[in-house]
Amino acid sequence: MANRQREPVSYRPFRTQPLLADGLLAVNRPDGSLLARTSEALFSMADQFGARADRQAEREGALAGEQAALAGAPSAGFEPGTDPASVQLTGGKQLTGTQAQKAAQAKAYLMSKHGWSNAAASGMVGQISQESAFNTNAVNAGDGNDGSDSIGMGQWNGRRARALRAFAAQQGKPVNDFETQLDFIVHELGTTEKGVGNRLKAARTVEEATAAAIGYERPKGWTPDNPQGGHGWANRLAAARSVYGFPVAGGTATAVAAPADGDKTASTTPEAGAGTPDKFTIGGGTFRPTGADTIYGRAYDEAGAKTYLQMVDNEMRSTTDQVFQKYKDDPVKLQQAFTDLKGQLAKDHIFPQIRADFEVGYDRLANAYMGQARDNLARKVQAQDRADFIDRTSQLETDQQRRLASFDAGSEEAANAVAADQAAIDDHYDDAVRRGVLDADDAEKAKIVSRRNSALAYYDKQAQALDADGVASMKKEMTTDFADGGIAGLDGDGWATLSAHLDRTERAKRSQAVRQEKDFQKRGDAMALRLQQGLEIDPAELSKLMLDTSTTPGGKAIMQETFAKISAARSINDMSLQDATAHVAGLRKQYGQDATAGQARTLAFAEKMLAEKRKAITTDSVSYAEKQGIVPATPNLTDASTPEDMTAIVSQRAQSAEDAAKELGVAPRYLKAGEALAVSKAIKANPEQGAAMAGAIVAGAGEAAPLVLSEFGKDAPMIAEAGAIIAANGSQRAAEDVIAGYGKDAGGKQLKGLKPDAAQASFRGVIGSALAAQPEDALQIGRAAAAIARKRIADEQLDPTSDEAIAVHDQAVQEAAGAVYDRGVQYGGFTDTGGGWFSRGAKVWVPNDIRADRFDDLIDAVTDDDLATLAVKPKGGIGVAGRFGTGRVKQGMAATLQGARPVAVNGGFAFALGDPAGDDPQWIMGSDGKPFVLDLLALRDRLAPRVPGAFR
């Protein structure tokens, strides 16, 4: 309209007319009824304003009534009592009611906000429960050693109490705030109590967590080494277990004493005894209707009463649910608790205007809970009946099976006892039907199964007492009885099971009989074999074997066979190998082609024993002779710790080996089984002592040294090779280098020598065909030369492919063959023989007593007179004569030798007119009919003056 300002302005505008209500302009009306109409309008407005005032009064009254009801609403709390069944056997008190709720709240807070484990949170909750029962306002006056009060859930005092207050102030929270005090615990465990915090984090179980957390409180009796000694330990652990999830059994709690140090206080937790009654705490309930008969008053009373009744209903539902949770399967106690709660609510907090509504609502709610409790009780009783039934069933069936396990099949009294037990089991199932635990058909099925199991065990015990034939007869008779009318306790399935079981039992017993015979036979064989091992038969063992004859299938025949084997074993054991062989041949002839099975086994036993005796004698005659008492026992070579010990042991061993060989009629064997390998390992572990030990072996063996060394060849080649050098009076350094050459370098790798082709070329160039007829010697010298060369090439840091390395290998071959070098002159080893202007001649192996390059001079210096001094003389040959060599003349002995090729052999040199390694060597024969052997060393006194410097 024109008289309204559309937009606000910052100044007051000038107006020429007053601002009036819409449609009420200051104008004169032509009908003159303005006053009447105005009056009517005013009366109408008054009525409207009166109705509006009434509604306003009603609203205000209702609101005020609701607020008053809320302010004066009742509150109900329930603290469940305890009884002896609600505390632990260990003496700890279970958390229940409000305390249990706070414990759960504390645990959930520590786990959700601070990420604690269930065990850690539960362990700390157990401490708070004991210290303050979760009362954040708990005060224990003058409790600290400094006289300060202990406060809060953790009962902090002294500096820790001051720290709590400062912490709360920093957080802007009151000091008695529940979560703030929990946060302070976490704060201390990460700072001033960090050691406890670390142990708590590491805890894997609630017990470990409780033991760690009690260190935060440190009550009297607590020590780091014995946290369980802290006062109230049982309560703390019980509370921790309760909130952790463990069930809590009965017991008695103990009071809590003073703390161990000034920083801690005693708990305010009350002592638990035999139990406490339930406690209802009813508060508030101050609202009452005014009774005023006004719109405001009536609205106030109606809204307040309705709101109050709703609040009563809320408290009633909450508290009755708590009561129900405690007594949900105990209708009697639940009814009593509901009656007590109803009475306390109605006494001072239910006014007449709402009593009827309260009564109806409470009874309806209580009756619903009572119905659930009665149903729960019925289910509990039914479950207990079923549990009792199962337990009793298990006990009866176990007793029956135990009786059957010890059942004597031949005792009538034992059979009656089994029957009585089965009757008790049947009665038990019938009683279960009467009590409604089982249906009749289920009980009948259970009895059938029980009888079947008992019958199977009953008949099995009888079968176990029989042999295989007896079981077969038992089954045949029972099969007839079952077909004629059945067998008590066995239905069709039971008989099928028993029949199959009897078949298995028969087969098992037959197999067992065979095993018994074999085992009995093995016992006899083992007894006879003791004789082979140099042991006597134990008379008590033989007597027991004879006693077992009657209880073993075929025992008598086996015993006779055992005596025959013992007789054969004694003979084979006591006889020489030759006589034992003849004895076994006699047994073979005695038993003939028609030998019984027992005789055939006896002959096979004797032949096996003879073969084992032959093997033992030929492979380890010393050990065999020692076991048989033929020679005294000698120490093992590995027992030697010094070369002197080794010499003594080998000397004794050589004598024993030769005595054993003579007694047993075999070639001597000097080493025991495994000794060569054991010595090899010992020398590889201590190579510095290897050459000395090899020399000691040679010294101890004496004349038998070559044979002793040959036994080392396969398992301990370095001993055989180094020993051969020493036995030949060769280079000590070469012997040492052989041992070292089998070792490894500082990096653990095998030492490097010449490549195989180069080494073979070097070897053949040095020895030629000197060892063509002695391949074993050639192989040993070649291995020894390779080992020596590896050591020296490594020492001199030579390239294995260089000429210098080949020269080293050439000399190593000479020294491996026994050569020694004195001031640059070679004695022994390989040298040329028979050479001339146009030929180098052949290679010959000479001893190191002879200078290698003077060997031919010595041969040429030998005369017939020299040879005439020998016991065995060579036969003269036929030479050529005449201008054209057409004549034939008889040659002297010396000339005959000088015209042949010398070949190194044991004891000196043989002489061949042909190829020594060929099919027709044409050996010059001696006066004894054998190839002649010249020992140059035997002619040393005669030859040395003629060939100065030829001998070493």
Each residue's pLDDT tens digit, 346-393: 887 888 888 888 888 889 988 998 998 888 887 877 776 777 788 778
Question: What backbone phi and psi angles, to 5 degrees, belong to 182?
Answer: -65, -40
- 432-478 tens-digit pLDDT: 888 788 899 988 888 888 888 888 888 888 888 888 889 899 889 98
Q: Is the pLDDT of residue 880 over 70?
A: no
**Overall pTM > 0.85:** no
Q: For 26-30, 511-515, 596-600, 932-936, which range has the lowest pLDDT when averaged over its residues?
A: 26-30
Using pLDDT thresholds of 50, 70 and 90, give the confidence band for residue 790: very high
Using pLDDT thresholds of 50, 70 and 90, give the confidence band for residue 429: confident
Question: How many residues appear in the chain?
Answer: 952
Q: Is the pLDDT of residue 700 over 50?
A: yes
Pick the most confident of 435-439, 731-735, 772-776, 882-886.
731-735
Cβ–Cβ < 8 Å for 565, 529:
no
Q: For 171-180, 215-224, 535-544, 810-819, which range has the lowest pLDDT when averaged over its residues?
A: 535-544
Cβ–Cβ < 8 Å for 719, 697:
yes
Residues above pLDDT 90, as percent of the chain? 33
**Residue 489 pLDDT:** 80
**Residue 811 pLDDT:** 95
Tokens at 581, concatenated: 């062989």
**Residue 9 pLDDT:** 55
**Residue 879 pLDDT:** 63
Using pLDDT thresholds of 50, 70 and 90, give the confidence band for residue 646: very high
Mean pLDDT of the chain: 84
Distance from C-alpha of 846 to C-alpha of 905, rounded to nearest angstrom? 10
Q: Is the pLDDT of residue 155 over 60?
A: yes
The better pLDDT of the pair 89, 145 is held by: 145
Cβ–Cβ < 8 Å for 712, 720:
yes
Tokens at 556, concatenated: 């008598």
Pick the most confident of 315-319, 404-408, 490-494, 782-786.
782-786
Using pLDDT thresholds of 50, 70 and 90, give the confidence band for residue 666: confident
Q: Is the pLDDT of residue 534 over 90?
A: no
Residues above pLDDT 70, as percent of the chain? 89
Cβ–Cβ < 8 Å for 893, 867:
yes
**Residue 456 pLDDT:** 85
Pick the most confident of 89-103, 191-205, 344-358, 535-549.
191-205
Pairing of strands 842-851, 825-833: antiparallel
Buried-exposed string 221-241: b where 16+ CB fall within 10 A, e elsewhere: bbeeeebeebbbbbbbbbbbb
The better pLDDT of the pair 42, 577 is held by: 577
Cβ–Cβ < 8 Å for 454, 497:
no
Q: Is the pLDDT of residue 927 over 80?
A: yes
Using pLDDT thresholds of 50, 70 and 90, give the confidence band for residue 926: very high
**Unique residue bearing structure tokens 């095993």:** 515
Distance from C-alpha of 818 to C-alpha of 724, rounded to nearest angstrom? 8
Using pLDDT thresholds of 50, 70 and 90, give the confidence band for residue 25: very low
Using pLDDT thresholds of 50, 70 and 90, give the confidence band for residue 151: very high
Distance from C-alpha of 344 to C-alpha of 336, rounded to nearest angstrom? 12
Q: Is the pLDDT of residue 274 over 70?
A: no
Using pLDDT thresholds of 50, 70 and 90, give the confidence band for residue 18: low
Write the DSSP assignment of 365-408 as a string of letters.
Answer: HHHHHHHHHHHHHHHHHHHHHHHHHHHHHHHHHHHHHHHHHT--
Q: Is the pLDDT of residue 133 over 50?
A: yes
What is the signed CA dihedral for 148, 151, 155, 157, rounded to 10 degrees?
Answer: -30
> Residue 329, CB half-sphere, CA atoms under 13 Å: how many?
9
Terminal CA-to-CA distance of the chain, rounded, Å? 156
Q: Is the pLDDT of residue 87 over 80?
A: no
**Sequence-ordered list of residues with C-beta below 8 angstroms from that of 933, at least 6 positions apart, any chain:** 872, 905, 906, 907, 908, 909, 910, 926
Distance from C-alpha of 150 to C-alpha of 164, rounded to nearest angstrom? 11
User: Which residues face 150 on adjacent strands?
Assistant: 140
Q: For 137-151, 385-399, 561-575, which range has the lowest pLDDT when averaged over its residues?
A: 385-399
Using pLDDT thresholds of 50, 70 and 90, give the confidence band for residue 152: very high
Distance from C-alpha of 467 to C-alpha of 406, rounded to nearest angstrom? 19
Burial of 837 (0-12, 13-18, 19+ CB in 10 A): exposed
Distance from C-alpha of 190 to C-alpha of 181, rounded to nearest angstrom? 14
- How far CA 183 is from CA of 153, 164, 168, 179, 534, in Å, comes to 12, 10, 9, 6, 84
Cβ–Cβ < 8 Å for 239, 217:
no
**Residue 197 pLDDT:** 92
Distance from C-alpha of 817 to C-alpha of 735, rounded to nearest angstrom? 11
- How far CA 708 is from CA of 651, 711, 769, 883, in Å, comes to 11, 5, 27, 56
Using pLDDT thresholds of 50, 70 and 90, give the confidence band for residue 261: very low
Using pLDDT thresholds of 50, 70 and 90, give the confidence band for residue 160: very high
- 412-426 tens-digit pLDDT: 887 888 888 888 888
Q: Is the pLDDT of residue 37 over 50?
A: yes
Write the DSSP assignment of 153-176 as a string of letters.
Answer: TTTB-HHHHHHHHHHHHHHT--TT
**pLDDT mean over 820-842:** 82
The better pLDDT of the pair 541, 924 is held by: 924
Tokens at 377, concatenated: 């009780």
How many beta carbons lie within 10 A of that of residue 513, not counting itself?
Answer: 16
- 723-752 tens-digit pLDDT: 888 888 999 999 999 988 888 888 888 899
**Residue 252 pLDDT:** 33
Tell me which architecture the domain covering 85-273 has in CATH: Orthogonal Bundle (1.10)
**pLDDT mean over 665-690:** 87
Q: Is the pLDDT of residue 268 over 50?
A: no
Tokens at 930, concatenated: 């054998």
Using pLDDT thresholds of 50, 70 and 90, give the confidence band for residue 135: very high
**Residue 399 pLDDT:** 79
Distance from C-alpha of 192 to C-alpha of 189, rounded to nearest angstrom? 7
User: Which residues face 74 on adjacent strands?
Assistant: 284
- 850-879 tens-digit pLDDT: 999 999 999 999 999 999 999 999 998 776
Distance from C-alpha of 413 to C-alpha of 403, rounded to nearest angstrom? 12
**pLDDT mean over 784-807:** 94
Q: Is the pLDDT of residue 83 over 70?
A: no
What's 549's DSSP letter? G
Question: What backbone phi and psi angles, to 5 degrees, belong to 925?
Answer: -90, 155
In the chain, where are the structural domains located? 46-80+278-373, 85-273, 512-628, 670-827, 842-943
SS (H, E, C) 771-818: CCCCHHHHHHHHHHHHHHHHHHHHHCCCCCCCHHHHHHHHHHHHHHCC
Tokens at 387, concatenated: 């549990």
The better pLDDT of the pair 542, 674 is held by: 674
**Residue 876 pLDDT:** 83
